[in-house]
């Protein structure tokens, strides 16, 4: 099936025209072709095109699909140039559910409200495209938040804080932490900017410090490493 992740079966759905164009002109789908739709409760259905102009479809049956039951929130500052675009695209493919962009003490990129709004529009498009491409059932959300301290980390079962100081005594290996915490369904993973975390930022409560191997990864690589390992170990 072609996966049409955004086709929400409710009154607020506004992208039908755009999705119809994508299906008919880009994917070259036609009468009788089937595709997947996801409703507002994330139930998945097989549907068939019964008319092309305007696009009309018939829902055939509900499909039972395997869904990930661990929610993963990526907490990360904005990165320079197109690195953040790259990271959110790949992290969406790798199963991130929420992106929170925090103001890091050593952030290189700082934006005013207008620029943030424009960036969010671009980020949402990237996430939408990556969700459709990877046939995800849900589209991750993204928002700007304040500094690390302003995020209520108590809402997560586990907060994996990727700390680049490889000699930090409180850090454990990621695999060990995951294996010792088999029962959780709401996880946050926290990363620093290009320049790393300030000393103040590591004083936040409720953190599990983890090392991602013995090499320092680029800021855009670290979340992708972490999501891949979580996927391999937990899902
Ligand atoms: N400027 C820092 C330095 O030279 O040590 C490196 C910062 S690194 C480019 C950006 C972020 O990626 C870090 O704040 C951390 O969250 C994560 N990171 C990179 N490599 C890591 C590792 N081996 N273990 C844990 N976190 C890592």
What pLDDT, in 10s, does the model give residues 21-57?
Answer: 888 888 899 999 988 887 777 778 888 898 888 888 8
How far apart are alpha carbons 215 and 93 in whole angstroms? Answer: 24
226 or 7: which leads in pLDDT: 226
Q: Is the CB of 192 under 6 A from ligand 1?
A: yes
Number of Cβ atoms within 10 Å of the Cβ of 43: 14
Domains: count for the chain: 2
Identify the domain boundary among 32, 63, 94: 63
191 CB less than 6 Å from ligand 1?
Answer: yes
CA distance 23 to 28: 6
Let me know whether 14 and 54 are in one domain: yes
Tell me: pLDDT of 182 over 80.
Answer: no
Q: Is the ipTM of this complex over 0.85?
A: yes
Q: Note whether 137 and 218 are same-domain residues.
A: yes
Domain stops at, among 63, 79, 100: 63
Neighbours of 106 (CB within 10 A): 13
Helix residue ranges per DSSP H, 52-197 = 83-93, 113-133, 174-180
Q: Are residues 76 and 188 located together in one domain of the fold?
A: yes
Residue located nearest, by CA, to atom 1 of ligand 1: 195
Instruction: Quote the ligand 1 centre to 177 CA distance (angstroms).
Output: 18
Question: Ligand 1: which of 108, 164, 171 to mutate, most ligand atoms within 8 Å of CB?
Answer: 164
Could you identify the atom of ligand 1 that is nearest to the CA of residue 214?
23
Q: Are residues 16 and 83 in the same domain?
A: no
Residues 106 and 193 in one domain: yes
CA nearest to 157, candidates 134, 177, 131: 177
Domain containing 10 — which CATH number?
2.40.240.20
State the Cα–Cα distance between residues 57 and 73, nearest whole angstrom: 34
Residue 124 sits in the same domain as residue 142: yes
Whether residue 77 sits in one domain with residue 126: yes
Q: Which domain holds residue 92?
A: 71-234
* Contact of 16 with 55, CB cutoff 8 Å: yes
Whole-number Å distance, alpha carbon 215 to ligand 1 midpoint, is 9
Ligand 1, atom 19, residue with closest C-alpha: 217
Q: What is the mean pLDDT of the chain?
A: 88
Which of 10, 39, 63 lies at the terminal end of a domain, its last residue?
A: 63
Q: pTM of the full predicted structure?
A: 0.82
Smallest CA-to-CA distance from 228 within 213, 215, 214 is with 213
| Residues 41 and 118 placed together within one structural domain of the fold | no
């Amino acid at each position: 099936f072609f996966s049409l992740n955004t086709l929400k079966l409710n009154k607020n759905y506004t992208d039908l025209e755009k999705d119809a164009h994508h299906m008919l002109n880009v994917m070259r789908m036609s009468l009788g072709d089937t595709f997947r739709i996801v409703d507002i409760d994330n139930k998945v259905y097989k549907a068939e095109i019964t008319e092309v102009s305007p696009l009309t479809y018939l829902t055939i049956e509900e499909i039972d699909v395997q869904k990930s039951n661990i929610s993963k929130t990526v907490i990360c500052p904005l990165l320079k140039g197109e690195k953040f675009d790259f990271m959110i695209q790949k992290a969406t493919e790798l199963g991130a559910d929420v992106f929170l962009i925090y103001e890091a003490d050593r952030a290189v990129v700082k934006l005013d409200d207008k620029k943030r709004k424009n960036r969010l529009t671009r980020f949402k498009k990237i996430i939408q495209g990556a969700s459709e491409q990877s046939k995800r059932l849900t589209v991750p959300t993204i928002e700007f938040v304040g500094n690390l301290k302003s995020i209520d980390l108590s809402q997560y079962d586990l907060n994996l804080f990727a700390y680049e100081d490889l000699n930090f005594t409180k850090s454990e290996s990621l695999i060990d932490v995951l294996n010792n915490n088999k029962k959780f369904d709401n996880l946050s993973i926290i990363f620093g900017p290009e320049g790393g975390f300030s000393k103040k930022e590591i004083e936040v409560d409720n953190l599990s410090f983890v090392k991602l191997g013995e090499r320092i990864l680029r800021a855009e690589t670290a979340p992708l490493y972490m999501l891949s390992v979580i996927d391999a170990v937990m899902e």
